[in-house]
């Protein structure tokens, strides 16, 4: 072949050209930028606009952040230190740190108690959140609510212990009676638990009120970010069981239970949370027996729990509806009764499908706990708008305070949603 060409073609290359680098525009940063930022005229304009937006945000934000003053006792002192330069007055955060976290009334010598409760919250949440951990740790999760109550509110340890004992006795009674039917088991458990609680209540109020007692702190003294955390965790955990019950009620074949569930859910979902908080603040007292004195925080917890359970019920209803009919029929054909079928077959699957939705509701609810500041409770927003911004030293320090509150919520909410995505991937059993 090459011989014939040797006659007709003037030149035939018989060596390889040495390998060369790809052209600049086809490699590395330049290629990436050409493809991702400047691939066409509209994209270029968009990119330039985005660059301008980022630059204008950073150019005012960064000096404010980096040049900030952390040590001052008032805004005017901050301004003196800054001397006309741009910079934030973060001294308000360091000076009012405790108020932002615990409110203005919580006794400062007891700050370690809510702090400890907060740290233990992670330990209690870990076995629920991370499925790899040994199951035995769940015992601590069970103990935690009572421990946290004792730490934050104080009082004798007898009350939370009796609360826990009531729960355990209820569970034991349920176990022993449940072979005679689910309903009988539940009934027995409820009655025995209430009996224990009643005894415990009279013991803790009377003869044993001094046993291992921490100094009592009234609910009215709760405030700051602690209040948001309390409301968020308590209401989300309480609303889960109620939400499941409501969802099952809405799916139920029994008309009275179904109608009641539908009415409750639609009513709660149809009104804004703030009207329910108004109810807690000014109306609920009319509906309680004369002379009972529920404190505001408890009334708010009741209303927010009702609110959250309606939303969670809708999410779980979606999960129940998404299960194929075959699952229900398979449970029936195994001879399981309603309670067994729900507990063993339907709910585990339905709850798994509903995890993203439940997390959304939880995040939304945690954000909505800031609404209590409107009914003049001093959560973190209430503290900022009330005592801090209206003080003579710090009036006018908006950005630092709102930025701080926003950051706290962002960290927690973003963390939760990232966690739920991780959990979703982990629990995925289908092959996609």
Partner 1 sequence: MSSAPDTSAGQAGGFRLSMLLNDTRYRGLTFQFIALAVIIFLMFWLGTNLVRNLAAAGLNISFRFLGETANYDIGQSLIEYSSQSTHMRAAMVGLLNTLLVAFLGCVLATIIGVTAGVLRLSKNWLVARLMSAYVEAFRNVPVLIWILVIGTVVSLGPSPKVYLGDDPERGLFLGLFAFTNRGLTAPAPVFGPGSLWVVLTLVASIIGVIAYLKHRKKTLFSTGTLLPTWPVPALLIVPTVLVFFILGQPIKLDMPDPLANRFNLQGGFEIGRPLIALWLALSVYTGAFIAENVRAGILAISKGQTEAAAALGLRPRRIMNLVVLPQALRVIIPPLISQYLNLTKNSSLAIAVGYTDITATLGGITLNQTGRAIECVLLLMLFYLLISLSISAVMNVYNASVALKER
153: helix, coil or strand? helix
Residues engaged in binding partner 1 (CB under 8 A):
36-37, 39, 43, 46-47, 50-51, 53-54, 181, 183-184, 253-257, 260, 266-267, 269-275, 278-279, 282-283, 285-290, 337, 363, 367-368, 370-371, 373-374, 381, 385, 398-399, 402, 405-406, 409-410, 413-414, 417
Q: How far is the CB of 409 from partner 1 (least distance, A)?
A: 5
271/330 with CB nearer partner 1: 271
> Cα 277 to the chain's mean position, in Å?
19
Residue whose tokens read 């000096």: 63
Query: 193: Cβ–Cβ under 8 A, 6 or more apart, which residues?
Result: 166, 167, 169, 170, 173
Q: How far is the CB of 414 from partner 1 (least distance, A)?
A: 5
Q: How far is the CB of 287 from partner 1 (least distance, A)?
A: 5
Cα–Cα distances in angstroms (integers) from residue 43 to residues 25, 39, 52, 325, 398, in the given order = 17, 6, 14, 49, 37
Q: How far is the CB of 61 from partner 1 (least distance, A)?
A: 13
CB 305 within 8 A of CB 239: yes
Q: How far is the CB of 123 from partner 1 (least distance, A)?
A: 25
Q: How far is the CB of 314 from partner 1 (least distance, A)?
A: 10
169/355 with CB nearer partner 1: 355
Q: How far is the CB of 1 from partner 1 (least distance, A)?
A: 41
Residue whose tokens read 């009996």: 195
User: What is the C-alpha to C-alpha distance for residues 371 and 368, in angstroms, rounded to an integer?
Assistant: 6
At 272, list the tokens: 């804004």
84/255 with CB nearer partner 1: 255
Give the dihedral sign, CA 372/373/377/382.
positive
User: What is the C-alpha to C-alpha distance for residues 370 and 278, in angstroms, rounded to an integer?
Assistant: 14
221/385 with CB nearer partner 1: 385
215/332 with CB nearer partner 1: 332
How many other CB atoms are found less than 10 A from the CB of residue 83?
Answer: 7
289/324 with CB nearer partner 1: 289
20: helix, coil or strand? coil
253/432 with CB nearer partner 1: 253
């Amino acid at each position: 072949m090459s011989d014939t060409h040797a006659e007709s073609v003037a030149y035939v290359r018989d060596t390889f050209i040495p390998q060369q680098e790809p052209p600049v525009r086809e490699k590395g940063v330049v290629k990436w930028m050409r493809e991702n930022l400047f691939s066409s005229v509209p994209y270029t304009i968009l990119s330039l606009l985005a660059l301008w937006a980022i630059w204008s945000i950073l150019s005012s934000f960064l000096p404010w952040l980096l040049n900030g003053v952390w040590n001052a006792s008032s805004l005017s002192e901050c301004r003196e230190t800054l001397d006309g330069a741009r910079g934030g007055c973060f001294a308000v955060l360091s000076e009012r740190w405790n108020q932002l976290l615990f409110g203005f009334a919580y006794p400062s010598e007891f700050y370690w108690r809510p702090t400890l409760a907060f740290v233990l919250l992670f330990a209690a949440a870990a076995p629920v959140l991370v499925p790899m951990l040994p199951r035995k740790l769940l015992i601590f999760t069970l103990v935690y609510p009572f421990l946290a109550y004792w730490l934050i509110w104080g009082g004798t340890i007898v009350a939370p212990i009796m609360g826990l004992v009531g729960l355990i006795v209820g569970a034991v009674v349920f176990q022993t009676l449940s072979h005679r039917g689910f309903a009988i088991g539940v009934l027995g458990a409820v009655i025995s638990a209430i009996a224990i609680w009643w005894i415990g209540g009279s013991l803790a109020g009377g003869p044993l009120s001094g046993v291992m007692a921490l100094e009592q702190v009234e609910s009215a003294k709760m405030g700051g970010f602690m209040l948001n955390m309390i409301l968020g965790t308590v209401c989300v955990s309480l609303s889960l069981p109620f939400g499941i019950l409501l969802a099952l009620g809405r799916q139920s074949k029994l008309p009275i239970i179904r109608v009641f569930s539908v009415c409750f859910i639609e009513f709660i979902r149809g009104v804004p949370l703030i009207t329910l908080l108004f109810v807690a603040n000014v109306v609920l007292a009319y509906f309680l027996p004369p002379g009972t004195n529920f404190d505001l925080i408890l009334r708010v917890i009741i209303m927010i729990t009702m609110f959250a359970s309606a939303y969670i019920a809708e999410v779980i209803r979606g999960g129940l509806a998404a299960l194929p009919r075959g699952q229900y029929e398979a449970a029936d054909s195994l001879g399981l009764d309603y309670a067994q079928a729900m507990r063993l077959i339907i709910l585990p699957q339905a709850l798994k499908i509903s995890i993203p939705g439940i997390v959304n509701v939880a995040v939304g609810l945690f954000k909505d706990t800031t609404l209590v500041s409107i009914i003049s409770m001093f959560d973190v927003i209430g503290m900022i708008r009330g005592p801090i911004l209206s003080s003579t030293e710090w009036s006018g320090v908006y950005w630092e305070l709102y930025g701080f509150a926003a950051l706290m919520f962002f960290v927690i909410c973003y963390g939760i949603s990232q966690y739920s995505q991780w959990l979703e991937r982990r629990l995925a059993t289908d092959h996609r």
